[in-house]
């Protein structure tokens, strides 16, 4: 004997179904209740639902020989699967099948399972499920695009607004933990494992533990059973890369294939639904971007200190472009020293690349020298740009363009006035019709030509203004480090993108903001005349 109750609507509630089925059993002496199988909250197209699988197991073990449901839709809403169970599976295990409201009984009325009514109703149930699925998906997609949160559980650090379940508000009880995680990673240089150890040493519950024990939520982390509620590196990694902490809502990362096939698949990142500034941020965007940059560098922490090396993620072989590995050795005097060597040479084959070794001591000196030289160069470049922007030549050039535009606009107004009087001149017979058409065509041509000239001048003015470089915030980042005598990971993260080590031990540094620096150089090259005139005046 089997009872399935599923829908949450009152007409098909679990309670009403159980009442109906129990009354049916009481009225039939040949039926005895063995168990009740309830899959509340699961879709009818999913035949992997837990209690249904338990039912199949009892069938295989011979514990039951009859299955009773309220109607065919309670068995399932996939007409192919439902038909397969009714016509193939149940007969194979000698199971009597009863659908009360559909008057189906495979034992007392075998023909009732073979009529066209059964597959027709199954098809209707299937279509109902398909239509409902489409409507739900459409509604949810609309909410996603508007930045409304549609998840069952909010990310760690946030809770749903009691007044609006589609809006997130900060969970102040753990917000500082989020801030600490980013601070430890970006400012202290701790890796994910080190952060994980620190959180566990402090006795802080992981996100699952917080939701279940402190918020009282019925949360299940993808079926993972872990009652220790300890932090793992993957949990820390997920927090460090989650845009929710800078106020963005990103949804649609996973999807099911269809309303029938419930296998979850990953969605390409470019197809995620991302809406910015949907709620209050916990982390500053600049801090978040630094954390992403650290993650992209795929850095490893020291096994002893659990902290990131200053050079981790920055050093690459200039030839094979692979990462450099840190090693230690002893010189002839017995002193230990550290050096970096090409990982391809060390791990794969000395036929694929060469050593490209460089001592850490020499590396630090070379990088310090290069940074200070680059800063001095930027300061000189900034001064040249400033001279160009302040030169009278530039002001005259811009003023001339503006005057030319005004002159041509005045000319258009003048010609337009002539054009307006043409019609009256023709009506007054001051000019002939042929003269009217001839003048009209000429005026229209002149106006169009002047408009094109104005557009060219406006484009030239816009180009000039775009080249007039005044935004030098990126230079300030370098100037703040002028005269540094010691390197830190913060300085490296702020100024350097990558360091390439050549075979002879020389280095080539790829600084950040190189595109902006090239624009400065092009600007200076394009405005040599202004500099020359400035020099003459001096």
User: What is the domain partition of the chain in residue ranges?
Assistant: 10-139, 158-296, 309-538
pLDDT, residue 58, reads 92
Q: Are strands 496-501 and 315-317 parallel, antiparallel or unpaired?
A: parallel
**Angle, vertex CA 232, rays to CA 227 and CA 237, nearest 5:** 140
For the chain, how far is it from start to end, CA to CA, in angstroms? Answer: 104
User: Is 10-139's fold the same as 158-296's?
Assistant: no
Please, where are the H alpha helices in 305-359? 343-347
C-alpha angle 9/11/14, rounded to 5°?
70
For residue 266, what are the β-bridge partners?
254
Is residue 394 within 8 A of residue 388, CB to CB? The reply is yes
Residues ≥6 apart with Cβ < 8 Å to 137: none
Q: How far is CA 450 from the centre of its chain?
A: 48
Look at residue 284 in the predicted model and tell me its pLDDT.
93
Residue 132 has a pLDDT of 58
Dihedral sign computed on CA atoms, order 34, 38, 43, 46: negative
The predicted pLDDT at position 2 comes to 37
DSSP tally for the chain: helices H, then strands E: 19, 15
State pTM to two decimals: 0.51
DSSP calls for 205-237: PPHHHIIIIIS-----STT---TT----HHHHH
**pLDDT value for 536:** 46
Contacts for 441 with CB less than 8 Å, ≥ 6 apart: none
Strand partners for 96: 66
**Fold held by 158-296:** Hect, E3 ligase catalytic domain fold (3.90.1750)
| Rounded distance between C-alpha atoms, residue 509 and residue 95, angstroms | 76
Residues facing residue 179 across a β-bridge: none
* Listed residue (12, 119, 26) closest to 74, CA to CA: 12
Judge whether 153 and 207 are in contact, CB under 8 Å. Answer: no
- The tokens describing 35, both together, are 């168990």
Q: Can you tell me whether residue 311 is helix, strand or coil?
A: coil
CATH class held by domain 10-139:
alpha beta
Listed as ranges, residues in the chain with pLDDT below 70 are 1-12, 41, 43-45, 77, 79-80, 112, 114-140, 221-227, 255-264, 297-308, 389-399, 463-472, 528-538
Query: For the CA atoms of the chain, what is the radius of gyration?
Result: 38
Q: Which long-range contacts (CB under 8 A, 24 or more apart) does 100-103 make?
A: 100/20, 100/21, 100/24, 100/68, 100/69, 100/70, 100/71, 101/70, 101/71, 102/71, 102/72
| Measured distance CA(521)–CA(111) in Å, rounded | 88
């Amino acid at each position: 004997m089997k009872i399935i109750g599923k829908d949450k609507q009152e007409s098909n509630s679990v309670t009403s179904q159980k009442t109906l089925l129990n009354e049916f059993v009481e009225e039939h002496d040949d039926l005895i209740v063995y168990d009740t199988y309830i899959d509340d909250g699961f879709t009818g197209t999913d035949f992997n639902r837990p209690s249904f699988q338990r039912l199949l197991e009892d069938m295989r073990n011979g514990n039951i020989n009859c299955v009773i449901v309220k109607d065919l839709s309670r068995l399932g809403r996939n007409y192919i699967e439902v038909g397969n169970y009714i016509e193939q599976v149940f007969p194979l295990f000698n199971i009597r099948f009863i659908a009360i409201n559909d008057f189906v009984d495979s034992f007392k009325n075998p023909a009732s399972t073979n009529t066209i009514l059964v597959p027709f109703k199954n098809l209707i149930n299937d279509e109902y499920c398909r239509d409902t699925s489409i409507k739900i998906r459409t509604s949810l997609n609309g909410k996603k695009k508007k930045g409304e949160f549609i998840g069952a559980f909010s990310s760690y650090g946030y809770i749903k607004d009691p007044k609006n379940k589609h809006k997130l508000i900060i969970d102040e009880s753990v917000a500082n933990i989020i801030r600490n995680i980013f601070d430890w990673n970006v400012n202290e240089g701790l890796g994910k494992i080190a952060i994980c150890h620190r959180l566990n040493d402090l006795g802080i519950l992981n996100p699952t533990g917080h939701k279940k024990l402190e918020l009282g939520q019925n949360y299940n982390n993808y079926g993972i059973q872990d009652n220790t509620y300890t932090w793992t590196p993957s949990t820390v990694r997920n927090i460090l890369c989650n845009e929710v902490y800078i106020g963005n809502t990103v949804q649609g990362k996973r999807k099911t294939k269809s309303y029938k096939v419930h296998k979850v698949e990953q969605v390409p990142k470019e197809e995620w639904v991302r809406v910015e500034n949907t709620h209050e941020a916990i982390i500053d965007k600049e801090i978040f971007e630094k954390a992403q940059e650290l993650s992209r560098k795929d850095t490893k922490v020291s096994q002893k200190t659990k902290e990131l090396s200053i050079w981790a993620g920055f050093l690459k072989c200039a030839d094979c472009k692979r990462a450099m590995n840190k090693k230690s050795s002893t010189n002839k005097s017995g002193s230990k020293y550290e050096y970096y060597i090409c990982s391809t040479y060390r791990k794969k084959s000395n036929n694929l690349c060469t050593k490209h070794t460089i001592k850490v001591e020499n590396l630090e000196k070379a990088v310090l020298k290069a940074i200070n030289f680059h800063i001095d160069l930027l300061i000189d470049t900034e001064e040249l740009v400033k001279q160009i922007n302040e030169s009278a030549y530039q002001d005259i050039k811009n003023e001339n363009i503006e005057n030319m535009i005004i002159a041509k606009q005045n000319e258009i107004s003048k010609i337009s006035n002539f054009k307006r009087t043409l019609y009256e001149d023709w009506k007054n017979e001051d000019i002939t019709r042929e003269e009217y058409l001839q003048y009209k065509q000429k005026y229209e041509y002149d106006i169009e030509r002047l408009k094109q000239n104005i557009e060219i001048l406006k484009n030239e003015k816009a180009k000039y203004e775009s080249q007039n470089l005044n935004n030098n915030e990126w230079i300030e980042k370098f100037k703040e480090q002028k005269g540094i005598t010691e390197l830190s990971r913060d300085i490296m993260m702020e100024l350097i993108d990558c360091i390439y080590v050549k075979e002879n031990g020389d280095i080539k540094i790829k600084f950040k903001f190189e595109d902006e620096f090239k624009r400065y150089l092009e600007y200076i090259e394009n405005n040599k005349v202004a500099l020359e005139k400035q020099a003459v005046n001096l």
